[in-house]
């Protein structure tokens, strides 16, 4: 115990000394800390001022951004609106060059307007897929205007040609035969590969977003893949497809679809058709049968027969139109693949020779790459005036 007691006494003394040292150290540390804190407070105040300045600057920037924003939004909107027009202008580049390069080189080679100039101009327009009879027509009008206006300068002819072509494109009614409160049946016809199914898909999507109840009929039963392809477009545009099976009677599919359209109170029923059967006679007979079914089963409906033509086929499109005209009362033409072809001039020939209005133009494979044909917009995209 003693030992313990003595040791404890020494320990207590040691402990007291240490406690005093620790206390001194702590006070010293606290003092240092306090002085440092004072320094820090000054720093914080400075930082705060900097921060306020920064916040003010950011606020100014934000205000500037906010006042700028509507302008940027407008630009974005314009960009979207311009989408199709820009695509059309770009798509028509080769067609424009094809027509204008020919015209320019002829006009550049003459100093006066004479028969030779007219002949060469005629050739240039035919070469640009405007078609023989349309070209003759354009030339007749041109000669007349030159005489009337006493034009002497060949360079004046370019503007005159553009005006004549533009007025030709404006002839005819390009609007679709769709009325609110009355159903419309649209039969989409054309040879294989021209873009019928794709056009139907794009059209279904547009008509639906315009507030119409739309239904599709897979009356191209020639290939199973054709039915599948229409179904894919139906899904994309959120529109139902009435179908049967490969090899089924196309008129039976149309019959089913008409019954469905009636019971579902559909506004527009669009029927896909085969572009190719075992032979051409078969194809035309099948179409006639389908027309009879529509007339018998849906007499109260408006009828649209849309012939799809592929712009890249040039003059061939005219002979296709002539053949289909023999069996069908074509009410309008959808001219596809105007993007990237040099043969877009065919649209002028179709318009004036066939006396069937072009109602739609296609400039690509996407769902929004189809537009109602607007003659003013089209000539603006084609000639930039
Ligand atoms: N570049 C371009 N391609 C198009 C356009 N329209 C359709 N196509 C393409 O042309 C090809 C044929 O289109 P479809 O819609 O299958 O043609 P279809 O007339 O239904 O053909 P069939 O069913 O075989 O008679 C597809 O690869 C389409 O993507 C267009 O405006 N521009
Ligand atoms: Mg098809």
**How high is the pLDDT of residue 340?**
85
**How high is the pLDDT of residue 276?**
76
The alpha carbon of 260 is separated from its chain's Cα centroid by a whole number of angstroms, namely: 30
- Please list every protein residue whose CB sits less than 6 Å from any atom of ligand 1: 190, 192-198, 220, 226, 275, 336-337, 339, 362-365, 369
Mean pLDDT of the chain: 84
- The two three-digit tokens of residue 353, written as one number: 């020779």
Q: Is 231 or 49 the better-scoring residue by pLDDT?
A: 231
> Closest by alpha carbon to 82, among 383, 381, 385?
381
The rounded Å distance from CA 241 to ligand 2 centre is 14
Contact 169, 307 (CB under 8 A): no
**How high is the pLDDT of residue 55?**
62
The alpha carbon of 235 is separated from its chain's Cα centroid by a whole number of angstroms, namely: 18
In this prediction, what percent of the chain has a pLDDT beyond 70?
78
pLDDT band at 228 (very low <50, low <70, confident <90, very high): very high
The DSSP bridge pattern shows strands 358-362 and 332-336 to be parallel
Non-local CB neighbours of 109 within 8 Å, separated by 6+ positions = 120
**How high is the pLDDT of residue 232?**
97
pLDDT at 155 over 80: yes
**Would you call 75 helix, strand, or coil by DSSP?**
helix
**How high is the pLDDT of residue 38?**
45
**How high is the pLDDT of residue 170?**
85
pLDDT (tens digit per residue) in 329-384: 999 999 999 998 999 999 999 988 888 999 999 999 999 999 999 988 888 888 87
Tell me how far apart the alpha carbons of residues 34 and 155 are, in angstroms, rounded to a whole number. 92
Q: Is 171 or 19 the better-scoring residue by pLDDT?
A: 171
Tell me how far apart the alpha carbons of residues 64 and 286 are, in angstroms, rounded to a whole number. 67
Q: Is 56 or 315 the better-scoring residue by pLDDT?
A: 315
- Crossing angle of helices 250-263 and 280-297, in 10° steps, is 30
Name the residue at shortest CA distance from atom 13 of ligand 1.
195
**How high is the pLDDT of residue 125?**
93
Out of 188, 193, 309, give the residue to mutate to test ligand 1, the one with the largest number of ligand atoms within 8 Å of its CB: 193
**How high is the pLDDT of residue 290?**
94
Average pLDDT over residues 149-169: 93
Tell me how far apart the alpha carbons of residues 82 and 206 are, in angstroms, rounded to a whole number. 17
pLDDT at 265 over 90: yes
pLDDT band at 5 (very low <50, low <70, confident <90, very high): very low
> Closest by alpha carbon to 358, among 341, 338, 342, 340?
338
Q: Is 267 or 25 the better-scoring residue by pLDDT?
A: 267
**How high is the pLDDT of residue 260?**
98
pLDDT at 220 over 70: yes
Tell me how far apart the alpha carbons of residues 314 and 341 are, in angstroms, rounded to a whole number. 9
Contact 315, 341 (CB under 8 A): no
251-256 long-range contacts (CB < 8 A, ≥24 apart) are 251/219, 251/286, 251/289, 251/290, 251/292, 251/293, 253/217, 253/218, 253/219, 253/221, 254/217, 254/219, 254/290, 254/293, 254/294, 255/293, 255/297, 256/217
pLDDT at 154 over 60: yes
pLDDT (tens digit per residue) in 70-120: 455 455 545 445 588 888 898 899 999 999 899 999 999 999 999 999 999
**How high is the pLDDT of residue 377?**
87
Name the residue at shortest CA distance from atom 6 of ligand 1.
195
Which ligand 1 atom sits nearest the alpha carbon of residue 229? 16
pLDDT at 195 over 70: yes
Nearest ligand, CA 367: 1
**How high is the pLDDT of residue 353?**
87
**How high is the pLDDT of residue 64?**
59
Query: What are the two backbone dihedrals, phi and then psi, of residue 32, each rounded to the nearest 5 degrees?
Result: -60, -45
Q: Is 119 or 63 the better-scoring residue by pLDDT?
A: 119
- The two three-digit tokens of residue 339, written as one number: 């993007």
Nearest ligand, CA 194: 1
Average pLDDT over residues 240-262: 97
CA distance readout (Å), 271 to 17, 143, 171, 257? 106, 45, 28, 9
Name the residue at shortest CA distance from atom 26 of ligand 1.
195
pLDDT (tens digit per residue) in 128-143: 889 899 999 999 999 9
């Amino acid at each position: 115990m003693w030992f313990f007691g003595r040791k404890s006494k020494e320990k207590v003394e040691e402990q007291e000394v240490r406690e005093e040292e620790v206390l001194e150290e702590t006070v010293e540390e606290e003092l240092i800390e306090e002085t440092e804190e004072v320094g820090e407070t000054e720093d914080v105040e400075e930082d705060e001022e900097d921060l306020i300045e920064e916040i003010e600057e950011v606020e100014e920037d934000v205000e500037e951004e906010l006042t700028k924003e509507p302008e940027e939004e407008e630009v974005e909107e314009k960009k979207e609106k311009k989408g199709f027009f820009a695509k059309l202008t770009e798509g028509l580049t080769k067609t424009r060059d094809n027509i204008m390069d020919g015209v320019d080189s002829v006009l550049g080679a003459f100093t006066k307007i004479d028969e030779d100039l007219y002949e060469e101009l005629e050739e240039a327009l035919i070469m640009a897929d405007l078609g023989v009879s349309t070209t003759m027509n354009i030339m007749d009008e041109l000669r007349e205007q030159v005489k009337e206006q006493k034009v002497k300068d060949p360079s004046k002819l370019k503007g005159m040609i553009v005006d004549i072509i533009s007025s030709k494109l404006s002839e005819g009614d390009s609007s679709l035969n769709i009325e609110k409160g009355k159903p419309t049946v649209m039969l989409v016809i054309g040879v294989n590969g021209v873009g019928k199914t794709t056009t139907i898909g794009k059209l279904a999507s547009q008509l639906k977003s315009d507030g119409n109840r739309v239904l599709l009929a897979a009356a191209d039963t020639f290939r199973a893949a054709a039915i599948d392809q229409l179904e894919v477009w139906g899904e994309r545009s959120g529109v139902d497809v009435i179908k049967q099976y490969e090899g089924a009677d196309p008129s039976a599919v149309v019959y089913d679809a008409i019954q469905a359209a009636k019971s579902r109170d559909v506004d527009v029923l669009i029927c896909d058709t085969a572009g190719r059967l075992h032979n051409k006679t078969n194809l035309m007979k099948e179409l006639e049968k389908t027309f009879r079914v529509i007339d018998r089963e849906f007499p109260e409906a408006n009828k649209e027969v849309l012939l799809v033509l592929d712009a890249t086929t040039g003059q061939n499109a005219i002979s296709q139109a002539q053949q289909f005209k023999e069996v069908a009362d074509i009410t309008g033409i959808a001219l596809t693949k105007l993007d990237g072809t040099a043969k877009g001039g065919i649209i002028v020939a179709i318009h004036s020779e066939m006396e069937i209005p072009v109602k739609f133009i296609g400039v690509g494979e996407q769902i929004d790459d189809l537009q109602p044909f607007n003659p003013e917009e089209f000539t603006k995209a084609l000639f930039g005036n």
